[in-house]
Structure formats: structure tokens, C-alpha cells
Structure 1
Amino acid sequence: MPIDGYKDLGLQETILKTIGLGKTFKGFSAVSDVNLDVTRGTIHALIGPNGAGKTTCFNLLTKFLEPSSGQILFNGLDITKERPAQIARRGVVRSFQISAVFPHLTVLENVRVALQRGLGTEFHFWKSGNSLNVLNERAEELLCEVGLADFAHEETLNLAYGRKRALEIATTMAMEPELMLLDEPTQGMGHEDVERVTELIDRVAKGRTILMVEHNMKVVSSIADRITVLQRGSVLAEGSYQEVSNNPLVVEAYMGTHGGDGA
């Protein structure tokens, strides 16, 4: 949906905002004074060299780590003190970490388990598996959306690596996230899988908001609407790929050092 469409619905243009976000470990500043604005309905990439603080930043946003300073606002509400489960219930869901993929279940069964949360039956272990059949239709829709319809009844451990990642995106989408956080979605993939997952992220982003940490600059340049560059835990630059890639500070700190493809 175009940004103007969100305005028409009375929704805030900024879905996620950090103000002076910081994290210190025994005197070492891993993240310092990070001011981040993620616009609703966009793909926002967080990039930077190794040790730049990208993963720490993600851990702060999902409260896997407690911030040492600053605030985190989601839809204008201060969520800085909230627990990870509360933040997930608000609609901030981190893929590849919160979403669980069970290797000995089928692809369809994995998505169905993720959908259980909507029924409020996730801890009803004594119930028959047949009680989940009502979720099959929605699970099949999600598998179609990520291109896994033909693998619905395949045992998950038999999937190729890139398709497992596609399944993880489907299980994350099953939780109806308002904001999806993707942590290194193409890490460890071959060229063909990278292209498939990049196209998938671009497709599922329609009508959603995605914040992702990504090391592959080809992926970032092809789908990111806005990019924030971190260096030594602080924001070095922000803008479109064109603006960031032409910034001399970024070229020196990141592109030049890593040939444009490291993280």
C-alpha cells in the first residue's frame, strides 16, 4: 500500500522509531545513540561491517537484550520496558529466531503449528492433531504466498536450505506481524537460493513493513527502500542505496573494506 494509503487509514507513517538507543557491555559501547525511523510499508535495511552492532541492534528491538539507554517506539507507543513476548504480541516478529521450524513435521504442519497462536491453543498438547485441520486452508494460502505449495506434504528436513528459509518466512507471516525483522535472510546461501529468497522478500513485503539485517549488497540494492549504515555501533549514514553507496564515509568504512559484499 502506498504511504498515502496508510495516512488515509489514520495510521502513523513511522511504524518503528528509536531515540538515542544504546547498549554497553562492561564499559564497551556496542550500540551508541542510534536514531532509527522505519516507515510503514517499506523495506528498511540495516547494514555495516562485522562488529558494527547490527545484531545487537536487532536484539535490543526485540528485547533479547535490555537497552542501556534510549527509547523504542512502536506505532507511537513506548515499548522500551516490555518483554519479548509482549512485543511479539504487538506485531513485531523476528524471523529465523522466533519462528520455529520442526524438521520432522511436514511443511504444512509447520505452518499450521504457527497458526495455532491465533486459536489460543498452542499449549493444548493433549488435543488431537485433527483439531488443527481448520487451519489447513490458511496454511495452504501462506505456502502459496512463499512458493511452497508443491512441498506442503514434504518432511521439512528434506527441503533445500533456501526453501527452509522460505518456510521460516511463512511461519513468521502466520503470526500476522505488522513489522517483520529479518536477520541475515540470505546468509550461507548459494546464488540461486539468494535470488529466490530476495524475490520472495520483495513479494511478501507488499502491504507489510520489513526491517532486515543483510550482508549481501546486491540484495540490499535491489529491494531496500531505505538503508541505515552502522559503524562501531553508531549510525554512519542513511538514505537510498544510491545515496549511501556514493557516501565517501561509507565507501571508506564499508564498501571499500569489504568489496561491497561483507557484513
Structure 2
Amino acid sequence: MAPEFVLETRGLTKEFRGFTAVDSVDLRVEKGHIHALIGPNGAGKTTVFNLLTKFLTPTRGEIIYRGKPITAMKANEIARLGLVRSFQISAVFGHMSVLENVRVALQQKLGNSFHFWKSERTLRELDERAMQLLADVDLETFAQTLAIELPYGRKRALELATTLALDPVVLLLDEPTQGMGGEDVDMVVALVRRAAVNRTVLMVEHNLSVVSRLCDRITVLARGAVLAEGDYESVSANPEVREAYMGSEADAEEAHV
């Protein structure tokens, strides 16, 4: 059976005053996969994410989502279709409780930020769904904690919960383990694996150990263009990838590529 690609780019290009940040990128993300976008600093990974979610407008090329072109659509329209970037809505308000943060995200899914006129029953139903989402990311015991008081790793879990509140079909994760120590990294890996059930995930990630543990397929960018693509074993064995991504044998050994 031929693979079903839920998200594709064709010749995706972004130029800034003569500088080509993304250069004719063809990307195909298979439904149900966890797909990583990796590469050295300045490779164009975040720019690709910004193009996919329409934070930036492509200079050339096409974005296809579930078989339909979305290149001309606006960011909020794309999010409503189910292509959601984690931390895109950033509904993590430090002086609100963890539960209240998720409820705000659920209200956004309904089409408004706040529903003061809604019945107590409706708000209670939102609380029930919010608690389910908190349980999904192991935060139910923190429901009444102010978000500002959460440890860093738990804040990332809350950000993930607010994103899942939007019912994403494709979840875009931008450096989910950035700045984390080993214990928090292990927690986030488990959360991403859980969030990926019945979903497709495209992630930018610098931690190659995380990529090797999570991802079905990897696309490597260098200087804005696709350098290699495949599973972790084939990509990590590619000498061009090792040279471009690591820069030196010492770096490669440190990152276990």
C-alpha cells in the first residue's frame, strides 16, 4: 500500500533580500509518523516551520495539507484545519492555574477566548475535558498550581496540553526538549510518544538521542536545502550529514551520531 502523505511541500523557498533561507525544499510527512527536521544552526529548520504555519509567506513553492493546497491561507485558518504548532498559541499565563490555562485553550477551540455568558454546566464540561488533557501529560496533580510555579519541564508539558486542546491532526513541535536536563528530556519523550497516538508529528529537534528514540523518518537540512532523508540509521551513517551537522569528529562522537 502506498504511503499517505498528510503534509507536503513542493519547491518551498524563502528569500530575504537575496539571501535564500529555504531553498526548494520538498518535504513529505507520512500520516501517523513522527518525522524530524534536523540540521546545524542556520540550516533553515525554524524558517520551514514558520512557512508551514504561515508566520512567513513563501517566496516560491507550494504547501499541501491532506491533499489540498494551503499556501495562500492565513495562520489562523491553517490552525483550524488541524495543523497546529506547539507553543503557537502560547496559552501559558503564569498567574493563572494550570487548569485555567488549558480551559482558555479549549475556549479558543470553540471560537472565542472567554465564555463568561456560558452556563456553569458548559464551563464544568470544559473543566472535565481540561482535566483529561492534564492527565494525558501527567499534570492532573498540578491542576490548581499557578503556571509560573511549575518546573521548566512541567511548563513544557502544559504547553503541550494547551496545544492538544486544539485537537491537532498534525502536531508541529519546535525544539520540545530545548534547555532540558536528562530527567525532563525523558519525560518529554514519553509525552510526545503519547501525544503522537492517532496523530502525525513533525518536530524540529537538536537532541539526536531524542530523534533516534522517537522518529520514524528524518529530513536533514543544510544551508536551507534538503541534504538527506531516511530513517535514523541511514541518516546518521551518511558522511555528508556527519560533516554538515557535526562539523567535526569530536562533535559527532559527543552527539553519538
Q: State the TM bucket, normalised to the shorter chain.
A: over 0.9
Amino acid at match of 2:78: I
* SS in structure 2 of the partner of residue 176 of structure 1: coil
Residue number in structure 1 paired with 2:110: 119
Q: How does 1:1-263 map to 2 (within 5 A)?
A: 13-124=4-115, 126-127=116-117, 130=120, 132-257=123-248, 258-259=251-252, 261=255
Deviation at 1:59, TM superposition (A): 0.3
CA distance in 2, matches of 1:17, 1:95: 19
**Match of 1:220, SS?**
helix
Q: Which runs of 5+ in 2 are unaligned?
A: none
Contact kept? 1:215, 1:261, Cα under 8 Å:
no
What is the distance in 1 between the residues matched to 2:232 and 2:210? 11
What TM-score, normalized by structure 2, do the two folds share? 0.93
Name the aligned partner's letter for residue 139 of structure 2.
L
Q: CA distance change for structure 1 residues 232 and 132 in 2, over 3 Å: closer, same or farther?
A: same
Q: CA, structure 1 residues 128+89, in 2 after alignment: closer, same or farther (shift >3 Å)? A: closer
Cα distance, 1:120 vs structure 2: 3.1
Alpha-carbon shift at residue 128 of structure 1 (Å): 7.1
Stretch of structure 1 that moved more, 203-212 or 250-259 = 250-259
Deviations 1:130-154 (A, max 9, x none): 5522211111111111111111111
- Cα drift, residue 234 of structure 1: 0.1
Distance in 2 (CA, whole Å) between partners of 1:155 and 1:93 is 25
CA-atom RMSD in angstroms: 1.8
Q: How many residues end up aligned between the 2 structures?
A: 252
Give the deviation of 1:28 after TM superposition.
Answer: 0.4
| Closer, same or farther: CA 127–15 of 1 in aligned 2, 3 Å | same
**Secondary structure of the corresponding residue to residue 167 of structure 1:** helix
Alpha-carbon spacing, 1:153–1:129, altered in 2? closer, same or farther (3 Å) = farther
Inter-partner Cα distance in structure 1 for 2:255 and 2:89: 27
Secondary structure of the residue aligned to 2:93 is: coil
State the Cα distance separating 1:199 from its structure 2 match: 1.2
Task: Letter of the 1:117 partner, please give it.
Answer: Q
CA drift of 1:127 comes to 3.6
Distance 2:89 2:26 in 1: 25
**In 2, Cα distance between equivalents of 1:217 and 1:111:** 30
Which residues of structure 1 form unaligned runs of 5+?
Answer: none
Percent identical among aligned pairs is 59
Aligned mates of 1:86, 1:145 — CA distance in 2: 26
Q: What amino acid is aligned across from residue 237 of structure 1 in structure 2? A: A
Deviations 1:15-48 (A, max 9, x none): 0000000000000000001000000111000000
Q: CA deviation at 1:71?
A: 0.1
Cα distance, 1:256 vs structure 2: 4.5
For the residue of structure 2 that corresponds to 1:24, the secondary structure is strand
Paired residue type of 1:141: Q
Separation in 2, partners of 1:171, 1:183: 15
- Note if contact 2:107-2:114 (Cα within 8 Å) is conserved in structure 1: no
